[in-house]
């Protein structure tokens, strides 16, 4: 996959022309979605290449799910255009639907059916023959690991089992483009790892394009070929995770402090090689070219500012730092921590 | 639309008939799993039939075969309001309706599939009530063909009525609103000649009963039991069902369009 960073102009990523393939799996241009006076999606330009795993990262309420619902033909854009697998979602939703598989944020499955009945029904609605359904059930059940519970009513399933069944339902018809809306939220670590493995396998072996939203930094970092960072309905940055992280600085020094860090911020800004930022959760983040060399300078500056330092660590940048760089705030840490 | 192949299996539009079969099949599978949704439809008409028969048969005298006269009321009670609308609300609330909408299913099949299942259930619900009638001595003057027409009229009436709870379910997605919808059931049924012959009704009650389509449904059903093949009551009954169906289907399809128009 292409590791180039997309151009970031006035807070919005502009897809470079040379990276804008004619046969994009997902493409939006100036996409807007309003709910009354609220603008959930605000002029979104996206281009996801065929065969790519694209991670859509942002906090709750950023507009991720609204974008997914537009791309999956559940919502019409208020303005702008969106196409999936080459078909416009508003003008030709039927052609889009036959080519997509979707697992929404809350497993949208029917508790009153058995898992097997749900998958068979899904196969029938995609026009599969009985033999094809049997074949696909064997394949998807192998991957979702539901075991004999597949013949139990879904109402008896755990949350993790429902998510896995939801994923299986999204895959029954071998979609071209798979949309996963926060696919591992609420899953235990074992199930999360299994989903990650399956996402990689689907992409690697079948060439399936996968568009996933997540608020888990690790998930986007681990899975996605490219990541789009969204906040308040706007795309703030887009690119390969490694390149995005590199773009915010080589090293990050994080200080957890007691007290108001704004004064320390002024002090730190007096050092040309430091780029400090203050977060309301009591964290001062300093990006710098040479972390080890700057560590002492930061410690002294914080001490002189009269702050009590609870911890001082140095690490390489994360996507959260990219988000911090773009928005001045962090993705909700309680939601983020795995 | 072309088919799509990534692995060895291709996804495509299944077609309208297959869509309706799939949705109806799912709805019918759920019936035995939710006996609470069906048992009242058997118990309530049997209860009303027994109570009214016990209380009013002697008042009716010998000039009127009250057992036969009352049976259509029991049938209408059994079949009216029996629908999968509450299940549709559950689907809307759980997000499963959205999942169905993201498949290439024909939109009208989402509703028609449920209605096909309703017709099957409604026809089945006629049987225990007819059995009760047979036990107490009710016989059809029109014989077996008349009985089949009787069941068909009842099923079509029930189907026409189901449009209203479906319309409410699709508009609101609220179980309370769907339950409230059944409130219209009571005036429709009690402001008729359901338990008293029409010629005995007086004043405003008689006027309302004259314009109430249920009166004509009951008239058609009674004619099949007591009078033999009579054109006029059957025509009036057909018109009553068609009128209710026309309004109901229009409302239900408008509600479906509103629900699936992608949040414009």
* Average pLDDT estimate for A130-155: 86
pLDDT grade for A142, boundaries at 50, 70 and 90: confident
Compare B4 and A90 and report the one with higher pLDDT: A90
Q: Are A331 and A215 in contact, with CB atoms under 8 Å apart?
A: yes
Residue A335 scores a pLDDT above 60: no
List, in order, residues 6 or more apart from A300 with CB less than 8 Å away.
none
Percent of chain B past pLDDT 90, that is, above it, reads 43
Q: What is the pLDDT of residue A20?
A: 56
Measure CA of the first residue to CA of the last residue in chain A; give whole Å: 27
Residue A15 scores a pLDDT above 70: no
List, in order, residues 6 or more apart from A188 with CB less than 8 Å away.
A160
The Cβ of residue A94 has, within 10 Å, a number of other Cβ atoms equal to: 15
Residue of B1, B11, B12, B91 to mutate, testing the A interface (most A Cβ within 10 Å of its Cβ): B11
Give contacts of A108 with chain B, Cβ < 8 Å.
94-96, 98-99
Q: Which residue of B has its CA nearest to A90?
A: B262
Percent of chain A past pLDDT 70, that is, above it, reads 89
* Average pLDDT estimate for B35-47: 80
List, in order, residues 6 or more apart from A165 with CB less than 8 Å away.
A107, A109, A115, A118, A119, A144, A146, A154, A157
Residue window 181-210, chain A: list those with CB within 8 Å of chain B. 206-208
CA distance A147 to A168: 13
Q: How many Cβ contacts (< 8 angstroms) between chains A and B?
A: 121
CA distance A325 to A247: 10
pLDDT grade for A3, boundaries at 50, 70 and 90: very low
Q: Shortest CB distance from A97 goes to which of B87, B94, B102? A: B102
pLDDT grade for A39, boundaries at 50, 70 and 90: very high
Q: What is the pLDDT of residue B4?
A: 43
How close B226 comes to chain A (CA, Å)?
A: 44
Provide the token pair at B217.
Answer: 């449904």
pLDDT grade for A49, boundaries at 50, 70 and 90: very high
Q: What is the pLDDT of residue B117?
A: 94
Q: Which residue of B has its CA nearest to A166?
A: B99
Task: Find which of A77-81, A278-282, A331-335 is predicted with most confidence, using mean pLDDT.
Answer: A77-81
Residue B62 scores a pLDDT above 70: no
Q: Which residue of B has its CA nearest to A107?
A: B95
How close A72 comes to chain B (CA, Å)?
A: 6
Residue B73 scores a pLDDT above 80: yes
Cβ–Cβ of B34/A112 closer than 8 Å? yes
Q: Pick from B198, B112, B206: which is nearest to B159 by CA?
A: B112
List, in order, residues 6 or more apart from A330 with CB less than 8 Å away.
A279, A281, A283, A320, A323, A324, A336
Q: Which residue of B has its CA nearest to A77?
A: B264
* Average pLDDT estimate for A85-107: 90
Which of A85-99, A248-262, B239-253 shows the lowest mean pLDDT across its residues?
A248-262
Q: What is the pLDDT of residue B38?
A: 78
Provide the token pair at A93.
Answer: 């939703």
The greatest distance separating any two alpha carbons of chain A, rounded to the nearest whole angstrom, comes to: 74
pLDDT digits (tens, 9 = 90+) for B163-219: 999 999 999 999 888 888 777 777 777 888 877 787 777 888 888 888 888 899 999
pLDDT grade for B153, boundaries at 50, 70 and 90: very high
Residue A337 scores a pLDDT above 70: no
Q: Are A259 and A283 in contact, with CB atoms under 8 Å apart?
A: no
Q: Are B82 and B162 in contact, with CB atoms under 8 Å apart?
A: yes
Pairing label, strands A177-181, A100-103:
parallel
Q: Which residue of A has its CA nearest to B7?
A: A174
| Reported ipTM exceeds the 0.85 cut | no
Cβ–Cβ of B98/A74 closer than 8 Å? yes
CA distance A220 to A333: 15
Which of A7-16, A244-253, B20-29, B94-103 shows the lowest mean pLDDT across its residues?
A7-16
Residue A336 scores a pLDDT above 50: no
How close B132 comes to chain A (CA, Å)?
A: 32
Q: Which secondary-structure segment (H or E) carries A227?
A: strand A226-231
Q: What is the pLDDT of residue A115?
A: 93
Residue of A51, A68, A112, A162 to mutate, testing the B interface (most B Cβ within 10 Å of its Cβ): A112
* Average pLDDT estimate for B46-61: 77
Compare A183 and A151 and report the one with higher pLDDT: A151
Measure CA of the first residue to CA of the last residue in chain B; give whole Å: 25
Q: Are A70 and A33 in contact, with CB atoms under 8 Å apart?
A: yes
Q: Pick from B249, B253, B225: which is nearest to B237 by CA?
A: B225
Give contacts of B98 with chain A, Cβ < 8 Å.
74, 104, 108
Which of A33-42, B73-82, B241-250 shows the lowest mean pLDDT across its residues?
B73-82
Percent of chain A past pLDDT 90, that is, above it, reads 34
Compare A40 and B180 and report the one with higher pLDDT: A40
Q: Pick from A228, A214, A216: which is nearest to A5 by CA?
A: A228
CA distance A206 to A178: 11
Q: Which secondary-structure segment (H or E) carries A216?
A: none
pLDDT digits (tens, 9 = 90+) for A288-297: 878 888 888 8
Residue A172 scores a pLDDT above 50: yes
Give contacts of B5 with chain A, Cβ < 8 Å.
174
Q: Does B1 touch chain A (CB under 8 A)?
A: yes
* Helical spans, DSSP H, in chain A: 64-71, 93-97, 115-125, 130-144, 159-171, 189-206, 217-223, 241-247, 262-269, 291-304, 319-327, 333-336
pLDDT digits (tens, 9 = 90+) for A216-227: 878 888 889 999
pLDDT grade for B89, boundaries at 50, 70 and 90: very high
* Average pLDDT estimate for B75-79: 84
Give contacts of A173 with chain B, Cβ < 8 Å.
9-11
Q: What is the pLDDT of residue B5?
A: 44
pLDDT grade for A19, boundaries at 50, 70 and 90: low
CA distance B60 to B51: 14
Q: Does B264 touch chain A (CB under 8 A)?
A: yes
Q: Which residue of B has its CA nearest to A113?
A: B30
Cβ–Cβ of A102/B34 closer than 8 Å? no
Give contacts of B21 with chain A, Cβ < 8 Å.
124
pLDDT grade for B262, boundaries at 50, 70 and 90: low
Which of A143-147, B134-138, B152-156, B223-227 shows the lowest mean pLDDT across its residues?
A143-147
3-state secondary structure chain B: CCCEECCCCEECCCCHHHHHHHHHHHHHHHHHHCHHHCHHHHHHHHHHHHHHHHHHHHHHCCCCCHHHHHHHHHHHHHHCCCCCHHHHHHHHHHCHHHHHHCCCCCHHHHHHHHHHHHHHHHHHHHHHHHHHHHHCCCCCCCHHHHHHHHHHHHHHHHHHHHHHHHHHHHHHCCHHHHHHHHHHHHHHHHCCCCCCCHHHCCHHHHHHHHHCHHHHHHHHHHHHHHHCCCHHHHHHHHHHHHHHHHHHHHHHHHHHHHHHCCCC
Give contacts of A111 with chain B, Cβ < 8 Å.
94
Q: Does A72 touch chain B (CB under 8 A)?
A: yes
Residue A1 scores a pLDDT above 50: no
Phi, psi of A40 (to 5 degrees): -85, -35
Rg (chain B; Cα; Å): 21
CA distance B220 to B230: 9
Give contacts of A202 with chain B, Cβ < 8 Å.
none
Q: Are A53 and A212 in contact, with CB atoms under 8 Å apart?
A: yes
Cβ–Cβ of B101/A73 closer than 8 Å? yes
pTM attached to this predicted model: 0.79
Q: Which residue of A has its CA nearest to B28?
A: A113
Residue window 75-94, chain B: list those with CB within 8 Å of chain A. 87, 90-91, 94
Cβ–Cβ of B95/A106 closer than 8 Å? yes
Q: Does B36 touch chain A (CB under 8 A)?
A: no
């Amino acid at each position: 996959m292409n590791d180039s960073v997309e151009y970031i102009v006035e807070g919005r990523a502009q897809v470079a022309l040379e990276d804008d393939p004619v046969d994009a799996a997902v493409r939006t241009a100036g996409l807007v979605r309003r709910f009354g006076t609220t603008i959930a999606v605000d002029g979104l330009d996206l281009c996801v290449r065929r065969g790519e795993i694209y991670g859509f990262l942002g906090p709750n309420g950023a507009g991720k799910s609204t974008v997914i619902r537009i791309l999956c033909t559940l919502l019409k854009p208020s303005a702008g255009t969106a196409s999936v697998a080459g078909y416009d979602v508003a003008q030709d939703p039927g052609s889009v639907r036959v080519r997509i598989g979707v697992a929404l944020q809350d497993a949208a499955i029917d508790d009153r059916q058995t898992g097997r009945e749900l998958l068979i029904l899904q196969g029938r609605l995609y026009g599969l023959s009985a033999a094809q359904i049997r074949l696909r059930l064997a394949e998807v059940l192998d991957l979702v690991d539901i075991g004999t519970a597949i013949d139990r009513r879904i109402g008896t399933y755990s949350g993790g089992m429902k998510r896995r069944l939801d994923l299986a339902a999204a895959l029954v018809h071998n979609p071209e483009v798979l949309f996963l809306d926060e696919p591992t939220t609420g899953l235990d670590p074992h199930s999360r790892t299994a989903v990650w493995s399956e996402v990689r396998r689907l992409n690697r072996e079948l060439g399936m394009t996968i568009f996933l939203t997540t608020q888990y930094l690790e998930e986007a970092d681990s899975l996605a070929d490219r990541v789009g960072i969204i906040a308040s309905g706007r795309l703030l940055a887009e690119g390969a995770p490694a390149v995005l992280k590199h773009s915010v600085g080589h090293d990050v020094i994080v200080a957890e402090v007691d007290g108001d860090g704004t004064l320390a911020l002024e002090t730190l800004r007096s050092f040309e090689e430091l780029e400090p930022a203050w977060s309301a959760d009591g964290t001062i983040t300093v990006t710098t070219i040479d972390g080890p060399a700057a560590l002492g300078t930061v410690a002294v500056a914080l001490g002189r500012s009269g702050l009590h330092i609870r911890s001082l660590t140095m690490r390489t940048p994360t996507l959260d730092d990219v988000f911090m760089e773009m928005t001045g705030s962090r993705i909700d840490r309680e939601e983020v921590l795995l | 639309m072309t088919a799509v192949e990534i692995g060895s299996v291709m996804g495509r539009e299944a077609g309208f008939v297959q869509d309706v079969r799939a949705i109806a099949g799912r709805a019918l599978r759920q019936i035995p799993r939710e006996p609470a949704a069906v048992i009242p439809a058997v118990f309530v008409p049997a209860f009303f039939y027994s109570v009214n028969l016990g209380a009013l048969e002697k008042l009716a005298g010998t000039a009127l075969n009250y057992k036969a006269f009352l049976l259509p009321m029991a049938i209408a009670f059994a079949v009216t309001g029996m629908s999968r609308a509450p299940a549709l609300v559950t689907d809307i609330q759980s997000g499963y309706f959205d999942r169905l909408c993201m498949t290439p299913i024909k939109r009208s099949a989402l509703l028609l599939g449920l209605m096909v299942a309703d017709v099957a259930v409604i026809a089945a619900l006629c049987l225990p009530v007819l059995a009760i009638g047979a036990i107490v001595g009710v016989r059809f003057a029109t014989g077996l063909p008349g009985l089949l027409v009787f069941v068909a009229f009842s099923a079509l009436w029930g189907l026409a009525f189901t449009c209203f709870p479906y319309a409410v379910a699709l508009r609101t997605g609220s179980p309370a609103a769907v339950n409230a919808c059944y409130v219209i059931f009571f005036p429709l049924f009690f402001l008729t000649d359901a338990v008293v012959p029409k010629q005995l009704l007086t004043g405003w009650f008689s006027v309302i009963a004259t314009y109430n389509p249920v009166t004509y449904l009951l008239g058609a059903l009674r004619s099949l039991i007591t009078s033999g093949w009579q054109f006029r009551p059957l025509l009036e009954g057909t018109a009553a069902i068609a009128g209710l169906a026309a309004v109901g289907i229009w409302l239900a399809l408008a509600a479906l369009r509103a629900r699936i128009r992608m949040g414009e």
